[in-house]
Amino acid sequence: MAKKKGEEAELDSALERAADLLGRARFPVIGGLFTDIAGAAAALVLAEKLGGAVDHAAGTGLSRASRVMRETGATPASFGEVRNRADTVVVIGKGPLERDPDLIASLFPAKLGLPRPGDNKREVIFLGLDKVRTPRHVRSSSIRGRATLPELVALLAANVRETRFDIRDKALRTKLDRAGERIRNSAFAVFVYDSAEIEEPVMHTVLETVRHLVLTTRAAIMTVAAPGNGDGVNLCSTWTCGLPVRTSFARDVPEHDAWAYETDRLLETGEADALVWIDALEGEGAKRPKGAPTVVLSSIPGRASKGDVVIEVASAAGDHDAALYLAPISGIGMVKAGKKNKDKPTVADVLTTIAELIDARNA
Amino acid sequence: MLIQLKGGRVIDPVHKRDAKGDVFIEDGRIVAAPKVREPDEVYDVTGKIVMAGAIDMHSHIAGSNVTLGRQLMPELPVLAAEGGQPIEPSPAELGTFATGIRYAEMGYTTVIEPAMIPTHAIEAQIELASIPIIDVAGLVILGNDDYTLELLRGGRAKGDELKDYVAWTLHHSKAIGLKVINAGGSEAFKFNDRTFSLDDEVPAYGVTSRAIVEAMQKAVADLNVPHPPHVHCNNLGIAGNVDTAVATIEATQGLPIHFAHIQFYGYGNEGGKGFSSGAPTLMDAVNKHKNATVDVGQVMFGQTVTVSGDILRQFDGRRSASPKKWAINQGEGNGTGVVPYHYKSKSFVNAMQWAIGLEIFLMADDPWRVLFSTDHPNGALFVRYPEIIHLLMDKDERVRWLDDVPEASREFSNLAEISRELTYSEIAVITRGAPAKLMGLNDRGHLGAGAIGDVAVYTEQKNKTKMFAGADMVFKSGDLVVRKGKVVRVTYGRCYHVEPGFDPQIKRRVKSFYDRNYGVDPSWFGVSDAITNRRDRFATIPLSR
């Protein structure tokens, strides 16, 4: 079903109007991208055809993590490895638990079946946030103070490396000393953070700490998954064109720039003259920016604005089975639809049809 | 539609054919010369070489491990192009679309992805499905996963459960065969071990690498899977490791086994630099053990990135990273290590690696058991294949390259003394006939009636690099997809896999294992037809008997 100016319209008509709008556009951006892998793949094909850009609503964190990876690499561990084998988990900031309130319960089940290195009692250290309730078999502590989160990360990193430093807050010093010693003596310490919460220099500090620890023991990072299948969309972009989201196809070779190809900036500056906004994941919603004629692909079209070309689509994992990034397997898995609805087209169907219509007009 | 390729020199070693003649294609298949019908299309290929489409049996082109490499090194195509490698300076060149295009241009029509992670098989298969033109298949990795290790705890397999588990894993990931990477070594790394050899025991499980490989050999043989276990040995890349390789070959007990990128295990430790060619020793063992096949993993000079499930080795290799960055992903089973690397012609060790690979090719008694690969991208990017074919077919070309490497490399290798030049038929064996036979893909790798209509036509010339860089014509399943070295039609191929069958109880046991230890349902990572909208994407190949 498709709507324009609040009136019912046939899907074909909406697709034609979408093709008109995008075919005329000089530099469209395909944003939101709350969709499954098939939807992301179709969006990349359309963006390349149009010479536009792709971004994701969680693109800020995804781009930070991508840049850090490109610059220095990374040392991630899968969720399953952390759950089964980490003896020390350092939760950095509030982001991880805001993204996944059940994180602690999932990482620390009552009984572990797989062997793990060392014999330390498992422990979680909350850095920059108060302790939350943890299972009885898990020791926990919190490191807070007047210091900001980046300062706390830097202080803990210095302590882990036994670098000399002075701070006036003696209580904080004691906590840092204890945490540093615990981490140095861990068989497998893992630092958990949300790339959307901490800036790149902080990520570098954490990664350097891990690189120091692995000289003698085992250590890793684990990032919490981005909303809206952001990790899945980002991976799809990478295997398709070699670059993460916030990539432009306006020139001969694709170009990634986390600042230049951010949806909000492109719309605010008028650099993008059309927007394709995709918001079609079961149970999640993306906040839509304004500023250009828009084709909205939404599973909840009520979120659209007046004047948009609106195409109601099936929700991934709600109306149709969907390949999505799944945190428990730290990779892409298949989610069965809760209640299949074959009447509505998928994001991939709609974007592919728009691309075909544009091809036909250009033929 | 009946197509005739008329008057070319047809090279088809499977049918012992090397003579001027015709090849006919109809409805996507090779057919015998019709007695009365006139062809609908005739291509005059006089003076050209006609071969079956090439098959790459070991090339890392898809999956979460490969994409980790793309994330770390998007600049790789730019650096490679700057260094003179035949690649466009665009990050997209190592993306899935360009992968299919470049392979097709060289006359390749089937490629095997050799390292699918079981829990990430969906990503691997989605990536493979987005590669145009070529047919594909994947090998799935076991041997460092806790389910296998639990079954082999203390070196004791429990009845047929390992066999059922292997069969279930092949089924669940739609794989064509089994890969074993540094058996037990990645798990040992998780317990902070930094070295691991054939008879070392995996901490907490008490099982050796040797026992894991033997158990997998038996399981795969019992299941009648055509491709034997595809083994990446311990101690990759270490001086003196030829002893490990020979010991592993001798431990195979006569059962079929394939050793991957064997060049990386052909290292002696003689001479003042403690590094020498072990190729003669290695090839003596390979030539004697008829149950063993190998692919070479040829090194070429230039920038690349190494991607491997051998995280123990990759962690050690991080010190040689160039540029200075690396990624170690500690996941279920093997995990992945990614380390950028620049092979330099002026480096003694790199020049030795290059020479040892060529020695292995040229010392093979039986080219049907010594197959072509660079372990893309680990030894070299796959776009370098034409240069390697040139080196194998032209001893003068080898002399030219040898002039550019350190004198010590010439001294401690044997390449300069080898005058053998591979023939077109031998090239067709190591790039077509042998990989097809080894993978159980009996409908390709040759030009006999009934074979798939995958044909590559090359314009014969002395410069084999130029000759094999761009095929004059390539037919994929009977469709003309390449003309004059450029893709003229984009099609999509199929994915081949085995279905050996298993006791259904294994599904319940595996489900319980994943639920208990990971809070995960295995259905989340099971590959189904739904991963693409192409109905005929997957095809099952017959078992050995």
Tell me the C-alpha distance between B525 and A320, whole Å.
17
Cβ of B523 under 8 Å from any chain A Cβ?
yes
Which amino acid type is present at position A96? P
Contacts of A117 in chain B (CB under 8 A): 190-192, 203
Measure B244 CA to nearest chain A CA, in Å: 26
B253 and chain A: CB distance < 8 Å anywhere? no
B251 pLDDT band (50/70/90 cuts)?
Answer: confident
pLDDT at residue A3 greater than cutoff 50: no
Q: What is the ipTM of this complex?
A: 0.97
B147 touches chain A (CB under 8 A): no
CA distance A252 to chain B (A): 9
B490 touches chain A (CB under 8 A): no
Amino acid at B39: P
Query: What is the reported pLDDT for A10?
Result: 67
3-state secondary structure A13-61: HHHHHHHHHHHHCCCEEEEEEECCHHHHHHHHHHHHHHCCEECCCCHHH
Q: Which residue of B has its CA nearest to A45?
A: B97
pLDDT > 70: percent of chain B = 99
- What share of residues in chain A are helix, strand, coil (percent, to 5)? 40, 20, 40
Name every chain A residue with its beta carbon within 8 A of the beta carbon of B516. Answer: 113
The CA distance from B71 to the nearest CA of chain A, in Å, is: 7
pTM greater than 0.95 (yes/no): yes
User: How does pLDDT run across B457-515, given as a tens digit for each residue?
Assistant: 999 999 999 999 999 999 999 999 999 999 999 999 999 999 999 999 999 999 999 99
> Cβ contacts (< 8 Å) between B70 and chain A: which residues?
238-239, 242
Measured CA to CA, the distance from residue B407 to residue B183 in angstroms comes to: 37
- pLDDT at residue A86, rounded to an integer: 98
Cα dist from B523 to A328, A334, B130, B327, B514, whole Å: 13, 8, 22, 29, 10
Give the pLDDT band (50/70/90) at residue A5.
very low
B514-545 pLDDT, tens digit each: 999 999 999 999 999 989 989 899 999 999 97
Interface of B with A in 162-221 (CB under 8 A): 190-192, 203-205
- Is there a contact between B72 and A73 if contact means CB atoms under 8 Å apart? yes
Residue A1 has pLDDT above 80, yes or no: no
pLDDT digits (tens, 9 = 90+) for A68-101: 999 999 999 999 999 999 999 999 999 999 999 9
- Which one-letter DSSP state was computed for residue B204? T
Q: What class does CATH assign to A65-223?
A: alpha beta
Domain ranges in chain B are 52-487
- Using the Cβ of B119 and the Cβ atoms of chain A, whether some distance falls under 8 Å is answered with yes
| Interchain pair B331, A335: CB under 8 A | no
Chain B residues lying within 8 Å of A115, measured CB to CB? 203-205
Q: What is the reported pLDDT for A302? A: 75
CA distances, A343 to each of A303, A313, A346, B163, B263 (Å): 20, 9, 10, 43, 56
Cβ–Cβ gap A335/B524 under 8 Å: yes
Query: Quick check: A299 pLDDT over 50?
Result: yes
How far is the alpha carbon of A167 from chain B, nearest alpha carbon, in Å?
33
Q: What is the pLDDT of residue B440?
A: 98
Whether B80 contacts chain A with CB within 8 A:
no
d(CA B435, CA B82): 33
Asked if A254 lies within 8 A of B90 by C-beta distance, the reply is yes
Burial class (CB in 10 A: 0-12, 13-18, 19+), A51: middle
Of B96, B191, B203, the CB nearest to A239: B96
pLDDT in tens, B292-345: 999 999 999 999 999 999 999 999 999 999 999 999 999 999 999 999 999 999
pLDDT in tens, A222-254: 999 999 999 999 999 999 999 999 999 999 999
**Residue B522, SS3 per DSSP:** helix
The CB-side HSE value for A90 (13 A sphere, CA atoms) comes to 30
Q: Is B335 on the interface with A (CB under 8 A)?
A: yes
- Token pair, residue B57, equals 């049996």
Q: B186 is written with which tokens?
A: 């990645």
In chain B, which among 339-368 make CB contacts under 8 A with chain A? none
Architecture of domain B52-487: Alpha-Beta Barrel (3.20)
Is the pLDDT at A261 greater than 50? The verdict is yes
Between positions 373 and 392 of B, the ones with CB within 8 A of A are none
Any residues with CB less than 8 A from the CB of B139 and at least 6 apart, and which?
B112, B113, B114, B115, B116, B175, B176, B177, B178, B179, B227, B230
Query: Where do the structural domains in chain A lie, given as residue ranges?
Result: 2-58+228-362, 65-223
Q: Is B155's pLDDT higher than 70?
A: no
What pLDDT, on a 0 to 100 scale, did the predictor assign at position A304? Answer: 63
For B192-224, what is each residue's pLDDT tens digit?
A: 999 999 999 999 999 999 999 999 999 999 999
Chain B positions touching A106 (Cβ under 8 A) are 519
Task: Give residue A7's pLDDT.
Answer: 42
Find the length of chain A: 363
Which of A69, A117, A334 is nearest residue B530 as measured by Cβ atoms? Answer: A334
Q: How far is Cα A88 from Cα A116, in angstroms, rounded to an integer?
A: 12
Tokens of B422: 């591979």
* Contacts with A328 from chain B: Cβ below 8 Å: 518-520, 524
pLDDT at A320 over 90: yes
Within an 8 Å CB–CB cutoff, is residue A84 touching chain B? yes
Which chain B residues have a beta carbon less than 8 Å from that of A235?
64, 67, 123
> Which residue in chain B has the smallest CA separation from A66?
B71
3-state secondary structure B215-280: HHHHHHHHHCCCCCCEEECCCCCCCCCHHHHHHHHHCCCCCCEEECCHHHHCEECCCCCCCEECHH
A119 → chain B, closest CA residue: B191
**Does B328 lie at the interface with A, CB-CB under 8 angstroms?**
yes
Write out residues 242-281 of A within 8 Å (CB-CB) of B: 242-244, 252-254, 256
Residue type at B453 in one-letter notation: G
Average pLDDT over chain B reads: 96
By 3-state DSSP, what share of chain B in percent is helix, strand and coil, each rounded to 5? 40, 20, 40
8 Å CB contact between A237 and A226? no
- Taking the CA of residue B127 and the nearest CA in chain A, the distance in Å comes to 7
Nearest Cα to A75, choosing from B327, B331, B190, B314? B327
Q: How many CB pairs under 8 A join A and B?
A: 170
- Residue A201 at interface with chain B, using a CB cutoff of 8 Å: no
CATH fold of A2-58+228-362, please? Rossmann fold (3.40.50)
Per-residue confidence (pLDDT) for residue B545, from 0 to 100: 77
Of residues B93, B127, B332, nearest to A239 (C-beta) = B127
Q: Which tokens belong to B158?
A: 């429990």
Q: Using CB atoms, which residue from B72, B89, B329 is nearest to A70?
A: B72
Residue B66 near chain A (CB below 8 Å)? yes
Q: What is the mean pLDDT of residues B74-98?
A: 98
pLDDT for residue A8? 45
How many Å lie between the alpha carbon of B117 and the closest alpha carbon of chain A? 10
List the single range of A320-334, B81-95, B234-248 with lowest mean pLDDT.
Answer: B234-248
Q: Is B178 helix (H, G, I), strand (E, B) or coil?
A: strand
